[in-house]
Structure 1
């Protein structure tokens, strides 16, 4: 039987965007393993210039990204057991036909390696579609639904065993029992399953192993290769590192020396650790409340090394220079955003808005004493605050005070949605006369890459080259240039996206207003009681002190 293994994906590294892809291609086409290139082949490219062709396609469609999480290519294998004696020529026919059917729109190289006891093939293909520029997408379960059945079909046509013949299990059953055991939990590789089960294989852990290992009597956590140190934080709008940077900025503004700077950070609940690095010299590491790992200051970016922090403290405490003496400033300026709050003010008639504000205070969402919350408290509260703020905005926008006014607001929003539906219909009606034009243009663009490849000497694209010329002549009869057609098509897409976005926002408003209706039903509003509770909400201590200072300054000016 033949088994398809999806063994790895290629990602950009420090060595280059396509260094991993180059390594896989060189391994697959290794002359020592393929009898000097006898058992090699390629589809939509040449074995001599496969990497250059793949890079050219990426650049043509603007998909040559340096992001470590992007995929530049895929490496698959097809292998037979040693008991099933499959000759190399038959294996080459199978892998060639497999690539032409399942990877027909991708540039790929394939080979049969003859250096092992069992016959096996290697496939390396580009992640970018040759014709339309779209990236290859593997859905969970495609191995059992598409790829392995196609391989079984090719083997059966040549009198070879299929997976079901030797295992007694269907592809789906084999996938569940074997492939799922091999599936990684790494977010970078969650779509690339290892299909073959290997003995003594342990399930991959998260970025750091859960159990520390010992080295020279010290505990350490093994770092898994190829992952990003702060991968999970990159998706968050407000990360732990940014939180620490803002606290460091605040501490610099409040301190007069480096020792006082460290005392302030410790007073805010940070655990401080000093160390020395061969590359960065002296450093300090901070561990905040709720944080498992420390952050070193030099990893926070420019302006956060010990020397930079010293200069910033000195610069803050130095007097301003004389008029004719230039200021020596060799650092970036920082904007500090405080996390304290101010009690919102609403009109006297917006009782429901004040009721929501009182509820936020009672539930502890508003910071009662103005103390510095930690990172996790902020993340937890921000979601609730945004929800309440959105409800307050809707209450004021549509003058919602009871269930009837809420129903009237929903009716008004429904009418706006109907108008958007009419606009979208008009866009489709206006596009109808140009439907054939756009269809011809898109097909021509699909064959454009093949046209240029044929012009550069790749004769296997002759059919697509001729088709491109034919479609180009048809478009010339319409009297529009390529740029005009492209602009018209982009304008249509932009307009449809705008309509969809506005419609989605209106539907979200309806959902929020329905929540407000439930809130009104559960809480019978007593206007006088709400006014009294709202006035009793205290201002934060810091805000009160600021108000007192402003009043004192005003008195001094008047005197």
Structure 2
């Protein structure tokens, strides 16, 4: 069953009132999601600036700038219906023509970057013919939209579309998954960490705020469009953390991955990112190393074929990357046997124990600054953070009289430079230890997954060998 949902694009209260419309247009026309803009249509062209200017020209002609800036339809299909990107383009074109009748500036785009095919349609809030503003009222779905979608579904032999309101969508959507996907897409077009934050705000229309947690270190609070509350990065997977985002962007600008080349029974040098591993002959490799390289080779061969969808390509590429990490881990630690793996895991567990101990000692060392007062009052670090926030608002001339009074009070309470230096020292030390903890835990995960996979495979090979031996013995008895 397909799903249709309608969202409105609000006027921004601060800054450029049409910024939400501008960002929404850039979001749906993202080349990474639309086969380099092949899957874009409408009556305003394919260039984002041209589309946006056409929308704004219509508003200018009819002198209707404020209020809702536009509307955003999403039509998605279940993977079981096997809707292709081109078929989805036809459906979006039919829907725009039937519903808007070429009276509204509109752009539609099909995204094929996920397992389920889906299309986006953005249209102007102002009718280019009559100058009236579009209004959606209760009952319009059953009266006007449902008959159109039913007609299109019947035309292409698909199940009927079901309408989901924006409020219902917020309850049902997997926000963590959406944030991960948007971060991944934004990283692919970012030059550095600061550029990433800027693009998340301008192109993806996210609210972004950096903070510092005593337990987790530096974090980002992500507030995606359509969600009422922000999600802090430490509640999300590691790829959403600031330090990992910086690492991924820096690696993206290094050399591409080159998988090992197998010629007869020998491997050439195996490349991972821009680092070259030690040269090892195939006949000198351990079973762990052989299995790891064979996985990379097979996945790479499959990836190089023409695949039906980008999400399948992405799945295989992820498999290659996981295998490359496993291979790099095995070569780095010289793991050749199960005993080697056990020894490395013991060392890693001990290192994790030591870094956790260092984190506890660091928090204890700074307890006077971290702990709240006996009366429940804020800690010195929390007061300092409040002062930094108020000073930032003051620099932007967005501070109220009461906030200015609070800032003056804090400055009298603290020796500002002293607390600031201690705060930065703690911040730096804690982030370094948390990064080291993340590195150790990542290697432990690689060790567990590698050992488990290879042991299971070796066990299957041994069972197959025993069965073959049994078959041979039975044949010998019959002879």
TM over 0.5: no
TM range (shorter): 0.3 to 0.5
Instruction: Normalising by structure 1, report the TM-score.
Output: 0.33
| CA radius of gyration, larger in | 1
Instruction: Normalising by structure 2, report the TM-score.
Output: 0.37
Greater fraction helix: 2
